[in-house]
Chains A and B, each alone.
Chain A
């Protein structure tokens, strides 16, 4: 009977306490269970991150957010390490700056990072990263763009292997598991089974992988085509917020519009309905809005 079900006690977890930590000499109280990155953000310390995203499980693979924790032999990733009482954290020591610089250099020397956000460029100059210093004849992940469907393209020469798309395709959002990390070492890459084209894979074209990609490796076909044609111009784009018209869930959409046509659809990360994720209809089913003129 339903009221019995309702009456059962719900365990909401132990009450959380605040723990005292010190970051770069500043003492602060942080809620137990939060990460060092959360704590840094409480103090407005700009911490570089690449593989971290609020809506995804931390994988701590890019290592650009590393910080020094007193008593720890190696640096620790701020994105996944939980705060502990009495932790003494340094976010700008020589060791931290060195590792952050090297991570950025190693990545930029092997991957095309030209479409990363301006923030990444800012970190590169803050840490003095000069990827060219490894020389000209170094191994890179350069390869042709994969265009095998009408909705989105995959340019893995821009892939820093942050695992975000795999997480979004998997248990963190879509549960489709169309892509995974294949290969080993420097040959690791994002792939469908036996590198089959997307239409042969389990892909449902939700585009949530595009939504989380930090480097422009995954991109709307519309955006890719416009970039190729040289017509992509973010300064001429406006963003219109609306609610998806298809079903009753009520996903919030952000329509990116250039020259009065929709060129890209996103959803805000902090939206309680979507957490940034959409389905194929919300993400790609916008053509009906802009077909009228051609009639």
Chain B
């Protein structure tokens, strides 16, 4: 492979950013100075090509330092890593975080997604538009930032040698204007959790999330000790008997997954913690990572021990800088205290919802575009780098700690027959006390909303979006649905990621539906036709349907939406396309645009 670079040299700063990750170049072939020996030696081969997974970290370093990725910078990175520039360009342009045109060092990302919309994000955006011009340069609109309990939310980024990235929530017009004029931003603090019994969340607020000693004082690393006593088979047996189901959205039996990886003959095995929580309205994994990071690391250690994984990755979404720092600190401390006998690499997402899909996440770790792979083969056989891989969501993993310590029977005593344990729900939107709530599986939606203080005074419920953008709308009549996997399935809904966005009569359902349609259009990876074009057509037709005067929508347009929905559900490669029409279909029923079945 001949890497041709014609874009001119990188700037000193760009080189420093790349070299900061890769070390100094050793020869002309890597873009360094010319030595006489270079005329006779060629670098390349497997050793160079195997550096491909470093592409995203390198791109992050450039983006952090300079604020955008120029052609010179990208080509220098390509030379260092032996990656064809055309492929690397495909990667840069895939992720929303990387810019290929020059931008100011300072950027404010303002969330205008569902929960923030309910909290006045649109008004905030129009004020900013008024003061600083349309979104795109100094300030940008962003999909959900996972700070829905403190909506409206924003993320400040300042590129430079000392790169800064800070979540600001709640954000006001005054704060946003101050930040954009170069001023300071207020310290943003986690919301105190509601005062009620907690299992999974019991350490939150009680421990210092930056200290392993504090974690150990509160029962930390008891589970790992117990796991070693049980042995790998024993741990898998407990997890299987606890009937733990995955909390990421697909509800796959965790024990079965662990067993498959443990028994996979191919080596090495990888463990990946999926912390790319990007479902609009979801922030449970962020809270766990920010406030109980050692639990995540300990659970990963147990999972790796049980399934024989030699290397771990924790893929945390790019918009969670604090969670990333806390997890990195936790890993370092665990290493220093001898609690970690394998490597966990923290990988940073770059603004792509699709990377929460497990196989897209693998591709992203491998330094490629985050395009999902076709399944089968499943990750337990052919996963990261083509090897057997255990992928679990943060919440799923943290559940394992209690299963190991208390035993499967005690764990399964909570919840329902088919959905054991407790579940974290992220309440946002028009409720009195938005936040993270832990309830036993099977609690009704009505009870959950009451826990959060119910609606504001004098308001009536319009709908609840259960499971985020990939979930569906639940009506007032369905509020008594038990929140368990089987309970929600019975009414055609899903628990999904645990997002519960409550909409009262002040919410503009049409705008909400259009935002969801835009979300999927923006976040489709573009690989398969049903999703790439289907999400675009869905948004276009939805605009037509919703702008028609009441009850005047053409039945042909309604049919179109149904047709597109079915093709996306049936023929898309991954879950994004398969669920991209759920919320919209159920929302149209809610709006009485589409007749309810039966």
A135 shortest CB reach to chain B, Å: 7
B86 touches A60 (CB 8 A): no
A284 shortest CB reach to chain B, Å: 19
Per the 8 Å Cβ criterion, residues 37-56 of A in contact with B are none
**Chain B interface extent, by class:** 35 or more
B369 to A, closest residue via Cβ: A181
Is B93 interfacial (CB 8 A cutoff)? yes
Interface-facing stretch out of B232-240, B310-318, B341-349, B527-535? B527-535
How many chain A residues touch the partner (CB < 8 A)?
50
Is B570 interfacial (CB 8 A cutoff)? yes
A75 shortest CB reach to chain B, Å: 5
Per the 8 Å Cβ criterion, residues 524-582 of B in contact with A are 524-530, 532-537, 540-541, 544, 556, 560, 563-564, 566-567, 569-573, 578
Q: Which residues of A contact B527 (CB under 8 A)?
A: 61, 188
Is A183 interfacial (CB 8 A cutoff)? yes
Interface-facing stretch out of A100-108, A211-219, A256-264, A287-295? A100-108
Expressed in whole angstroms, the Cα–Cα distance for A181 and B92 within the complex equals 11
Expressed in whole angstroms, the Cα–Cα distance for A200 and B90 within the complex equals 17
Expressed in whole angstroms, the Cα–Cα distance for A80 and B377 within the complex equals 11
A188 touches B537 (CB 8 A): no
Expressed in whole angstroms, the Cα–Cα distance for A116 and B334 within the complex equals 59
A202 touches B571 (CB 8 A): no
Is A253 interfacial (CB 8 A cutoff)? no
Is B159 interfacial (CB 8 A cutoff)? no
Is A98 interfacial (CB 8 A cutoff)? yes
A161 shortest CB reach to chain B, Å: 7
Is B4 interfacial (CB 8 A cutoff)? yes
A118-140 interface bits toward B, Cβ cutoff 8 Å, 1 = contact, 0 = none: 00000000000000011101110
Expressed in whole angstroms, the Cα–Cα distance for A192 and B93 within the complex equals 12
Also in contact, A193 and B75, with CB within 8 A (given A106-B537, A186-B533)? yes
Is A243 interfacial (CB 8 A cutoff)? no
A103 touches B84 (CB 8 A): no
Expressed in whole angstroms, the Cα–Cα distance for A192 and B524 within the complex equals 22
Expressed in whole angstroms, the Cα–Cα distance for A33 and B87 within the complex equals 30
B567 touches A103 (CB 8 A): yes
B150 shortest CB reach to chain A, Å: 28
A110 touches B533 (CB 8 A): yes
Partner of B528, one of A61, A81, A134, A182: A61
Also in contact, A103 and B94, with CB within 8 A (given A134-B541, A185-B526, A193-B75)? no
A193 touches B71 (CB 8 A): yes
A63 touches B352 (CB 8 A): no
Q: Which residues of B contact A149 (CB under 8 A)?
A: none
Q: Which residues of B contact A201 (CB under 8 A)?
A: 4, 6, 86
B529 touches A185 (CB 8 A): no
Also in contact, A177 and B544, with CB within 8 A (given A63-B572, A103-B529)? no
Is B220 interfacial (CB 8 A cutoff)? no
Is A234 interfacial (CB 8 A cutoff)? no
Is B329 interfacial (CB 8 A cutoff)? no
**Residue of B2, B75, B376, B537 ringed by the most chain A CB atoms within 10 A:** B537
B90 touches A185 (CB 8 A): no
Q: Which residues of A contact B2 (CB under 8 A)?
A: 176, 202
B90 touches A102 (CB 8 A): no
Q: Which residues of A contact B578 (CB under 8 A)?
A: 74
Is B203 interfacial (CB 8 A cutoff)? no
Expressed in whole angstroms, the Cα–Cα distance for A133 and B544 within the complex equals 13
Expressed in whole angstroms, the Cα–Cα distance for A205 and B91 within the complex equals 24
Per the 8 Å Cβ criterion, residues 1-51 of B in contact with A are 1-4, 6-7
Per the 8 Å Cβ criterion, residues 198-227 of A in contact with B are 200-202
A3 shortest CB reach to chain B, Å: 29
B369 touches A107 (CB 8 A): no
Is A184 interfacial (CB 8 A cutoff)? yes
A64-100 interface bits toward B, Cβ cutoff 8 Å, 1 = contact, 0 = none: 1010000000110100110000000000000100110
Is B148 interfacial (CB 8 A cutoff)? no
Is B65 interfacial (CB 8 A cutoff)? no
Q: Which residues of A contact B475 (CB under 8 A)?
A: none
A185 touches B571 (CB 8 A): no
B572 shortest CB reach to chain A, Å: 7
Q: Which residues of A contact B524 (CB under 8 A)?
A: 184-186
8 shortest interchain CB distances as A-B pairs: A188-B526, A177-B84, A102-B567, A193-B85, A180-B90, A106-B533, A99-B571, A193-B89
Identify 16 new A-B residue pairs, CB closer than 8 A, beyond the known A135-B540, A186-B535: A62-B528, A63-B572, A75-B570, A102-B563, A106-B567, A134-B540, A139-B540, A160-B529, A175-B1, A176-B2, A177-B86, A177-B87, A178-B86, A184-B526, A185-B523, A191-B89
Cross-chain pairs A/B with CB under 8 angstroms, 30 sampled: A77-B374, A81-B374, A98-B570, A99-B567, A102-B566, A103-B530, A103-B571, A106-B534, A110-B533, A133-B556, A133-B560, A135-B540, A135-B541, A161-B529, A177-B86, A177-B87, A178-B84, A180-B86, A181-B369, A183-B94, A184-B93, A184-B352, A184-B524, A188-B526, A192-B89, A193-B88, A193-B89, A201-B6, A201-B86, A202-B3
